Amino acid sequence: MVESRFAAQLETHRRYLLRVATLQLRDSTLAEDVVQDTLVAAIQGEQGFSGKSSLRTWLTGILKHKVIDAIRQKARSPVLAPIEDECRVDDFDALFDESGHWENPPADWGNPEAQLSEQQFFEVMQQCLEKLPPNTARVFVMREVMELETDEICMQLTITSNNLWVILHRARLALRQCLEQNWFAANAGSARTSPSTRV
Amino acid sequence: MFSRVFSLIELARFINCRQAARLLSDAQDRPLSLADRIRLRLHLHWCVACTRYGRQIAFVRGALRRYRE
């Protein structure tokens, strides 16, 4: 009985795990297998869950190893375009003018921490992650969601640290811009007229 | 003596927003050299846009951490 309650709790994180796995693997069947493996491992390893971290954090830790295994096994038949295609620094030219100033300087986000209590914010963030180029999304999620060290990512994906930094830089520029356009600017415009703020 | 003066000039060489944005991102993943830290600090002293950028990418890191919790 207790066991099935734990399984039911795990189930509520399936969608999150699937989205995070898909961002890194770009293969929905493989991602589903990896998530299934993760949930099975979690049920078998229930004793290992101390409750010190959240259940989701714990599951993310298991998923991390499963994703790395999957990437390693797929390394000889890469599904993604060469990672070098996403390492070119001249791609950033459009964001800056000739003298190196921002074409569209970052806007004032006010107090962004207040957004973290809104579920909808995380949905927009997830959508912004999904819009990143495939290798960029993979690397960025490995770094910021899986919290892998940069050396570990370089080793698993066989890229140089400089390429890694360029890709992370690209991800941050793009994600920041996407959040500004789809959340902060959108919210600033609708704040006054939104019925939910008046009620 | 000469080389010391030269290196001070080199340190104070201004960077633009494009370079500052790259350093702000790199600073999240590796320790910057002293020279880069000084250049970045000088740039941020004058530049509202890059100061915002630095805060915003730090916020994004925190938001992703929250997403996982």
Query: Taking residues A134-146, what's their average pLDDT?
Result: 94
Give the residue-averaged pLDDT of A65-84.
77
pLDDT digits (tens, 9 = 90+) for A12-50: 999 999 999 999 998 899 999 999 999 999 999 888 888
Asked if A168 lies within 8 A of B28 by C-beta distance, the reply is yes
Question: Which CA distances in Å does B65 have to A70, A177, B32, B59?
Answer: 23, 19, 23, 10
Q: How far apart are CA A66 and CA B26, in angstroms?
A: 28
Coil, helix or strand at residue A102: strand
Instruction: Give the predicted TM-score (pTM) of the model.
Output: 0.85
**For residue B15, what pLDDT is reported?**
92
Q: Which residues of chain A lie closer than 8 angstroms to B66, CB-CB? A: 116, 122
pLDDT digits (tens, 9 = 90+) for B4-53: 666 665 665 689 999 999 999 999 999 999 999 999 999 999 899 999 99
In angstroms, the CA A146 to CA A67 distance is 10
CA-based nearest residue in chain B for residue A116: B63
Candidates A176, A173, A162, A142; CA nearest to A66 is A142
Is the CA virtual torsion A183, A134, B55, A118 positive or negative? positive
- Report pLDDT digits (tens) over A153-167: 998 888 899 999 999
Residues of B in contact with A56 (CB under 8 A): 68-69
